[in-house]
Structure 1
Amino acid sequence: MPKTVDFSNKPFHFIGIGGIGMSALAYILAKRQFRVSGSDTRTTHITQSLQAVGAHIFKQQCAANLEFFQSRNAPACEDVAAKRVSTSLNPKALTEISQSSPTISVADPCLGLPQVICSTAINPLNSEYQAAKKLGCPIFHRSDLLAALIEDYYSIAVAGTHGKTTTSSLIGYLLWQAGCDPTMIIGGEVDAIGGNARLGNGPLLVAEADESDGSLVKLSAEIGVVTNIELDHPDHYQKLEEVVEIFQTFAKRCKNLVGCIDCETVRTQLKPNISYSLRR
C-alpha cells in the first residue's frame, strides 16, 4: 500500500462514497477539480450533491467502475488540466509560491490507475475492493486522505468522544464569518454551509477528527482540539486506557493542543497548552 496520497496526477475513486465521512472528502476533491468517482448502493441527496459538483456516481459495486477514467466517457485530459492549474497545489504552497515564484508546473493529470478510498465499513471481501487490489490501484483508508488534506492546509482538527460535529461546525462558521474563508470537513450536515463540507479560498481547514477506529493517530494539525474523552466504540476499544493512548498520540502530533478541562481525563492525561471550560 502506498504511503502518500497523490494530489498531482491521479483520479480518486470512493467505495461507499455516500457515507457522511467519505462524501465530505469526495466533495472537497471534486470542488478542487480533481477527477472523482465513487460507488454507493443507494441514491441520496448526498450522492446527488456530489454529482452536481462533477463526481461520477455508480449505483453498484463492481470491477468495471474502476475503468471509468480510462474510458471515452471520462473528461478530456486537457480540460481537466486547464481547470486544475491552481487547485493541484496545496493552499500552503499557493501562498508561498505567490510570494516567491511566478512559475507553476502541474504534472499530467491523466496518468495511472485511480486512487481508491475506503472506510472501515468496507469489507475486505467486497468485490470492488478486491478488483482494486487485483488491478494494483493505490488503496487508502479514508483517514489517510483526511490526513493528507490536513497536511495540505493550516489545519484545525477537532476530536473528542462527544461534540466533534458541533465544535468543528462552530469553529468553521466563526472563521468563515470573520472573513477567513476556511475549508470545512464535518461529520454531519450543517445548515449554514448546506451540507457536510465546504471548499474555501483561504489556507485554513477545519476538520472533524474521528477516533472510532483508532485512525486519529494519523492526523497532524496545526491546532488540535479535544472536547472530552470517554470509553466508547466497544467494537474497537476494551478499556479507557486504550482510548486515552490514541488521544495522547494525536496530541503529540499537533503543534498546539486545545482541550476542555471540564473533562478530568483531558485535564490530567493530555494537559493541553490551551484550555477552555464552561464551568470554571
Structure 2
Amino acid sequence: MPNTVDFNGRPFHFIGIGGIGMSALAYILAQRNLPVFGSDLQNSHITERLEAMGAHIFGSQDASNFDIFKTPKHNWESMASGLSGKISSEKATLPRESSSIAQLEQQLPQVICSTAIHPENPEYQVARELGCPIFHRSDLLAALMAEYQSIAVAGTHGKTTTSSLIAFLLLKAGLDPTILVGGEVNAWEGNARVGHSPYLVAEADESDGSLVKLASHIGVVTNIELDHPDHYKTLDQLISTFRIFANQCETIVGCIDCTMVRDYLKPTISYSINSQFNADYTVDAVQYLADGIMAQVYERGEAIGLLKLQLLGAHNLSNALATVAVGRLLNLEFSVIAQAIAQFPGTKRRFEYRGNYGGIQFVDDYAHHPSEIRVTLAAARGRLQNSSGLSSTLSEAAITPVHPGSEIKRVVAIFQPHRYSRTETLMEDFALCFGDADLVMLTEIYSAGEANPGRISGQQLATRVAEHHPHVDYQSSLEAVKTRLCQLLKPGDLVLFLGAGNLNRVIPEVMAFFQSDDNSGINPTVTA
C-alpha cells in the first residue's frame, strides 16, 4: 500500500465528506480538478457546495458505493462524469467488468477517513478488502502543507479564529493564500479556499494526536489545555504531542500567557496580552469599548501602532496579537496588519449573532470546554452591563453590541455537553463555569460517536451545576429544550446556544416562535 498521497489524477473517496475538516480538504482537491467522491449520512450546504464543484457524494456509507471503481478506467471516467446529484438517492447500476489487478489498482480510490470512522464501517472494510490506499485526513493535510510555505495554527482554544484571522490578513494583504480552517468565514464563503501563492494557512487539530504528523514553516500555538480525555490520559501526553509539532516547525509563535506554552515549548517568537511576561509582542492601554477592542501594540518593547478589532473578549485580543506576530514575521507593515484585523468580521458559530425576535437576542457559539464557556459568558455579561449603562467589573467583558439599541436584562445559557469522556473528566470545571449566566439550561450529552459508558449523563451534570448556580433547568432532548425555551424566554434576554454538537438546530424554530405575532398556538418541531 502506498504511503504517500497521489495528486496526479487518482480519485479520492472521503468517508464522512461533510465534516468541517474533511470537507475543507475535499474542496481543495475538487478545486484542483481531481476526481472527488465521498459519503455522508446527512445532506448539508457543505455537501451541496462540494457537489456543485463536481464532487460525487453518496448519502449512505455502503460497500456498494465502491462499485463505481470496479470497472475499467475508460468506463469509470465516463460514468463519473455522467453522474449528478446525490448518488445515494438513486444508486447508479454500474457494470462489473473483469479487469486485471494492474487496472484495478489504477482505478482504486485513495480513501480518506477521520478518527471518527470505525473499522467496522462498511466502506472502510471494503476499501481494505480491495487494497485501496487508506489515509487519515491528517496525512492528506500534511501532504498539502508540504507543497507550500505553510502556516499551521494549533492550540486547545482559539485555533479556528486565529487561523481565520491570519488567513484573512494574508488575503487582504494580497498574498493570495490557500486556506483550510475549522469554521466557515464569509470572506471566502466557507471553510476552504485555493490561492495561487506559496502560502497555505491551516488549522492544526490536536484532538486525536495526529498533530505530530504536521510540519510547517510557521507554527502557532495559542494554548495547551486538556480537552480530549478520550485520547489523552494525562496532560503530559498532550504536552508531548505539542512539543513534537513544535520541533517539526521552522518557527514557533506561541502565547506565553499559557504556562504550558511558556514552560514546555519555549516559542521562537512569543506574544502575550500581559506586559509583565516581556513577550516579543504585547499590548498596553487596552480599552474594551462598546464597538470592540482597542490596544496599543508593542514589538520587542517598541510601540508600533494602535490595534482595533470587532471581536469580543481578551481571548480574541490574544488571537489578534498572534496574527500581528505572524504578519510581522512575513514582513508586512503594521498598518496593513491593523487594517485587516479591524475589518475581520469573525467566523460562524463564534458568538455568531442569529437574530432578534420578540426582543430576544439569539447567539450561537461553539464553546464546549469550561474555559471557552467561561470567557464567552463573561463577554455576554459585559454586553448586559454595557447595554444597561453600567461600568464593567470584568476587564474583558465589554463587547460589540450584537443588536445596538437593545437593552439586555438577562443572560440565558443553553448548553449541550459534548462527549461522555470530556463531561466526566471535566465535571468539576463544568460545574463552576456558568457563573455569568442568569439562567442555565442543560440537555443530554452529545456523544460525537462515543459509546455511552453508563457513568455520566446530562442530568448528573445539571445537578452538579445546580450546586453552584441558583437557576438551572434540565431538559432531556432537543424537542424538550425548544418547548421549554418557548415558555421561559422573554424580552431583554440574550440567549447563548453553547456546544459543538447539534444544539443549534433548535435556534431557527425558537426564533420563528417568537417572530410570530400570535405564538400562543404554535408548536414548533425539531427535525432530525
* TM-score normalized by the length of structure 1: 0.85
Of residues 133, 139, 142, the one that matches 1:144 is: 139
Tell me, what secondary structure is at the counterpart of 1:74?
helix
Equivalents in 1 of 2:199, 2:217: separation in Å? 10
Equivalents in 2 of 1:66, 1:187: separation in Å? 28
Of residues 181, 187, 210, the one that matches 1:186 is: 181
Partner of 2:68: 68
Post-superposition offset of 1:64: 2.6
Partner of 1:43: 43
Partner of 1:176: 171
Q: How does 1:118-267 map to 2 (within 5 A)?
A: 118-267=113-262
Q: What whole-Å deviation, never above 9, does each CA across 1:137-178 have from its counterpart, x for those lacking one?
A: 000001100110110111000000000000000000000000
Determine which structure has greater relative contact order: mean sequence separation of CA pairs < 8 Å that are 6+ residues apart, divided by chain length.
1
Partner of 1:101: none
Unmatched segments (≥5 aa) in structure 2: 83-104, 276-528
Partner of 1:95: none
Contact 1:9 1:111 in 2 (8 A): no
Equivalents in 1 of 2:34, 2:219: separation in Å? 27
Paired residue type of 2:230: D
Partner of 1:268: 263
Post-superposition offset of 1:41: 1.0
Post-superposition offset of 1:190: 1.3
Q: Which has the higher Rg, Structure 1 or Structure 2?
A: 2
Question: Which consecutive segments of 4 or more residues in structure 1 shift more than 2 A?
Answer: 66-72
Equivalents in 2 of 1:66, 1:15: separation in Å? 11
Partner of 1:10: 10
Post-superposition offset of 1:111: 3.2
Contact 2:14 2:22 in 1 (8 A): yes
Equivalents in 2 of 1:12, 1:129: separation in Å? 13
Deviates more, 1:265-274 or 1:188-197: 188-197
Contact 2:9 2:35 in 1 (8 A): no
Alignment of 1:25 onto 2:31 = no
Paired residue type of 2:160: T
Post-superposition offset of 1:189: 1.1
Tell me, what secondary structure is at the counterpart of 2:263?
helix
Tell me, what secondary structure is at the counterpart of 1:133?
helix
Partner of 2:397: none
Contact 1:155 1:221 in 2 (8 A): yes
**Identity in percent:** 66
Paired residue type of 2:192: A
Deviates more, 1:52-61 or 1:205-214: 52-61
Contact 1:13 1:66 in 2 (8 A): no
Deviates more, 1:166-175 or 1:9-18: 9-18
Post-superposition offset of 1:231: 1.2
Post-superposition offset of 1:10: 0.9
Tell me, what secondary structure is at the counterpart of 1:216?
helix
Paired residue type of 2:59: K
Tell me, what secondary structure is at the counterpart of 2:107?
coil
Q: What whole-Å deviation, never above 9, does each CA across 1:102-146 have from its counterpart, x for those lacking one?
A: xxxxxxxx9331100000011110001100011110000011001
Q: What whole-Å deviation, never above 9, does each CA across 1:58-104 have from its counterpart, x for those lacking one?
A: 1111223223354341239xxxxxxxxxxxxxxxxxxxxxxxxxxxx
Q: How does 1:83-94 map to 2 (within 5 A)?
A: none
Q: CA RMSD in A?
A: 1.4
Contact 2:153 2:204 in 1 (8 A): yes
Equivalents in 1 of 2:15, 2:194: separation in Å? 22
